[in-house]
Structure 1
Amino acid sequence: MSAIIRKIIHTAAAPGAIGPYSQAVVVDRTMYISGQLGMDVLSGQLVAGGVQAQAKQALINMGEILKAAGCGYENVFTCNFPARAAYQVSALPRGGLVEIEAIAVLGPITDSS
C-alpha cells in the first residue's frame, strides 16, 4: 500500500493558530481547515462590528489559507455536502462571536451519481 501524503498548510496572510494546531492540513487531496475567527492578521485582534464583520473576516482568513494551498472557495463543498462537524463551546478564543471551519478537496471536482 502506498503512503498517503500529509502536508501542513501555513500562511502569514491569515492569523496564526492560537493553540497547538495548524491552520490547515492536507491529506492526499483533502484539506481540513481549522476554525477561523474574525481576527485581523495585522493587529491580531478581533475586528469591530459584531458577528457580521467577524464572519466576513473569518471567511477572508479562510480564503488566504485556501490560496496558500493552491485552491479557492470553489474547492469548498457548496452542494452535495460532506458529513457535518458540529460542536458547542461555552466561549470562543479571544471572545470571538463566530468561528468557521471547512473541508476542501484540492483539484477539479466531479460528482458521481
Structure 2
Amino acid sequence: MKKALSTDKAPAAIGPYSQGMGTGNFAFVSGQLPADPVSGKFPETIEAQTEACLGNIEAILKSGGLSRKDIVKTTIFLTNMADFIKVNAAYGAFFEGCVFPARSTIQVAALPKNAPIEIEAIAFHEQA
C-alpha cells in the first residue's frame, strides 16, 4: 500500500507530484529545492542552500514517521560542480552521527526556479 507524505513544514510541490511517497518500508522524497517553506526564498550561500534542501527532506520524512537516520540513498543535482566541496561539508554535517547514505551527485544545466541545487532521497524503515 502506498501513501503520500506531506507537510507544510516543507515547500509545496510546484507541479503534479507529491512531496514524498511511502510504500512498504520505503519512502521516496521528491527533489527538494532550497526554498523556505513559508517565504519560498533561497538562502544566499550554497552551504545554507544544501542545509535547506536537507531540512525540507527531513520534514517530509518526519510526516511519515521517519528521520534522517533512515535515509539510504540521496541524489544531489548541482548547476555548478565547483560547489561540490562546499556542498559536501554541509551534507556531512547534516548526517553527523548517522551512517552516510549512498549518494550520487550530478551536474545539470538548470533546475526549477533557477535553483543551484536540488536533493532527492530514499529512506528505509525497519517497521512498515
More deviation in 99-108 or 53-62?
99-108
RMSD over aligned CA atoms reads: 1.9
Structure 1 residue 67: deviation in Å? Answer: 0.7
Specify every segment of 5 or more residues in structure 2 that has no aligned partner in the other structure, as ranges. 73-98
1:60 aligns with 2:79: no
Specify every segment of 5 or more residues in structure 1 that has no aligned partner in the other structure, as ranges. 109-113
Report the residue type matching 1:94 in the other structure. K
Q: Percent identity?
A: 38
Task: Kindly indicate which of the two structures has a greater share of residues assigned to helix.
Answer: 2
Asked if the contact 2:9–2:37 (Cα under 8 Å) also holds between the matched residues in 1, the reply is yes
What TM-score does the superposition give when structure 2 sets the normalisation length?
Answer: 0.70
1:96 aligns with 2:115: yes
Superposition pairs of residues 1-113 of structure 1, within 5 angstroms: 5-47=1-43, 49-77=44-72, 78=99, 81=102, 89-107=108-126
Q: Which has the larger radius of gyration?
A: 1
The 3-state SS of whatever aligns with 1:61 is helix
2:117 and 2:49 mapped to 1: Cα distance? 7
Moved over 3 A (4+): 78-81, 84-89
Report the residue type matching 2:36 in the other structure. D
